[in-house]
Structure 1
């Protein structure tokens, strides 16, 4: 998969960290508001979700650029579509939640449910996206002609040691 990168890291992966953290954190803050009644939790939740949605827009732009660069017959196109559907559903729940709360930052029962749905959808989309990256790991040939599989998104140094001398190397 051809990806837009910064310093050797996929831009989409870098940008998706914001919604992957901020939207579930918004749900946690909403739950704390429900438990304590403290309005500060509700305000912080609203801001966390808004930041997550803005981050998701940026990550989506990079994801669309990566998706368009994929060959049409590849399996990555289908997986990219499923990933986009999961992400889109989570973002619809988040935007709906923000609209419900735009005049008043605190939440209602419906907003708490949307917050939970958005958090679950965001986490599912993140896990699926990570799995996609792992499935499209670089495959090469070991010097003794055994196949080697390296997943550069996994920070496990052991995979490079196990691969030994091969035509694969750590990203620069």
Structure 2
């Protein structure tokens, strides 16, 4: 898979952390505003949502670049398109919420519902994205496969904190298969 990377990590995966964290956090802050009436929570929620939307747009650009470069087929294509649609829908709902808030309507209950809908969409999209990339559990991008210096196959899963796999790989580095 062709991926834009920074320090070996996919750019889209790095950037998707912003909406995956900031938009649900905005919902939590919005719920706290509804419970307490404290305007500081509403302001913080607005900023959190805005940051999540900007981060989501940036992650989307990286995701589209990966999609175009990779040209997935079959189920991978369907899942990629569903992931993009979920993310776009969640960001549109979040943006509509921000526009309504700028008009001073955040005090009504609809804003909390829009924030919840946006957070649910982003979390569902993040779940689907992780499932597609295989970063759930132990398989995925963090698994390094190669051939040891003595020509034995080596697989190191960097998501598991198991020192034995590094010891078993031996003192030399993992070499790419020939």
> TM-score interval w.r.t. the shorter chain?
0.7 to 0.9
Deviation at 1:146, TM superposition (A): 9.9
Cα–Cα, structure 1 residues 27 and 156, in superposed 2: closer, same or farther, change >3 Å?
A: same
Partner of residue 155, structure 1: 159
Residues 51-95 of structure 1: CA deviation (Å, up to 9, x unaligned):
110000100000000000113535432221111011111111101
Length-normalised TM-score, structure 1: 0.81
Structure 1 unmatched runs, 5+: none
Q: Is the 8 A contact 2:30 2:45 kept in 1?
A: yes
Paired with 1:111 and 1:78, the residues of 2 have a C-alpha distance of 31
Cα–Cα, structure 1 residues 44 and 139, in superposed 2: closer, same or farther, change >3 Å?
A: closer
The alignment yields a C-alpha RMSD, in angstroms, of 3.0
Structure 2 unmatched runs, 5+: none
Cα–Cα, structure 1 residues 72 and 129, in superposed 2: closer, same or farther, change >3 Å?
A: closer
Residues 101-134 of structure 1: CA deviation (Å, up to 9, x unaligned):
1132734211110000011111111111111111
Higher relative contact order (CA 8 A, sep 6+): 1
Does the alignment pair 1:43 with 2:47?
A: no
Q: Which has the larger radius of gyration?
A: 2
Length-normalised TM-score, structure 2: 0.79
Query: How many corresponding residue pairs?
Result: 167
Paired with 1:129 and 1:115, the residues of 2 have a C-alpha distance of 21
Partner of residue 18, structure 1: 18
Paired with 2:71 and 2:152, the residues of 1 have a C-alpha distance of 27
The residue matched to 1:101 in structure 2 has which SS? helix
Partner of residue 97, structure 1: 97
Deviates most, 55-64 or 124-133: 124-133
